[in-house]
Amino acid sequence: SNSFEQLWINFVNEKLQQFFNHHMFVLEQEEYEREGIQWQFIDFGLDLQSCIDLIEKPLGIISMLDEECIVPKANDMTYVDKLNNQHLGKHPNFQKAKAPKGNQAQAHFAIIHYAGTVRYNADMWLDKNKDPLNDSAVAVLKTCDKNSLIHQIWEDYITDVDREESASRGWQRSKC
């Protein structure tokens, strides 16, 4: 079964595939229509939004994980219980994991991704989710002048260094 990091990899792949499908199929067919090109609409059945929503929307896998990380006495199994209560039998892309075969690790739930059903083991998810970003990496991203999008995304992220500088400036002002 797969863990925390694999969920993120699969989530990004899901979003990239959705982006590709939308631009290659949906927008292309809309352009045909605008240009008056005769064609027959083809439903490629490739809308992956349901799986993306399961992961990123409020009460989705990520927001529920973030919430569980601040609940006192929460652990990986309380998180899995909440996921099951919220999604099992209610969301088409969320399933109970099948029993492990052979030497497969136990899985706590499964997600139906565009490429297939993936079993996930939630051990250590709360700890991994609490792991902070490295301030040095964020500092590099914040000062990225060559790509305005990257700069824009990270400019408001406050690092420990930013907090210390802000506190120092506040202390200096209060001395005056």
**Per-residue CA distances from 32 to 25, 39, 41, 42 (Å):** 11, 8, 10, 12
What is the third-level CATH fold of 4-130? Methane Monooxygenase Hydroxylase; Chain G, domain 1 (1.20.58)
Q: Tens digit of pLDDT for each residue in 107-159?
A: 999 999 999 999 999 999 999 999 877 888 888 888 878 888 887 888 888 88
Q: Tens digit of pLDDT for each residue in 22-80?
A: 888 878 888 888 999 887 777 766 689 999 999 999 999 999 999 999 999 999 999 99
Please compute, for residue 151, the number of CA atoms within 13 A of its CA located in the half-sphere on the CB side.
6
**58, 65 in Cβ contact below 8 A?**
no
Domain boundaries, the chain: 4-130, 135-170
SS3 of 2, please?
strand
CA distance 44 to 131: 39
CA distance 9 to 117: 14
User: Within its chain, how far is the Cα of 43 from the centroid?
Assistant: 27
Burial of 135 (0-12, 13-18, 19+ CB in 10 A): middle
Interhelix angle 135-142/160-175, nearest 10 degrees: 80
pLDDT of 170:
65
Q: Tens digit of pLDDT for each residue in 80-114?
A: 999 999 999 999 999 999 998 888 889 999 999 99
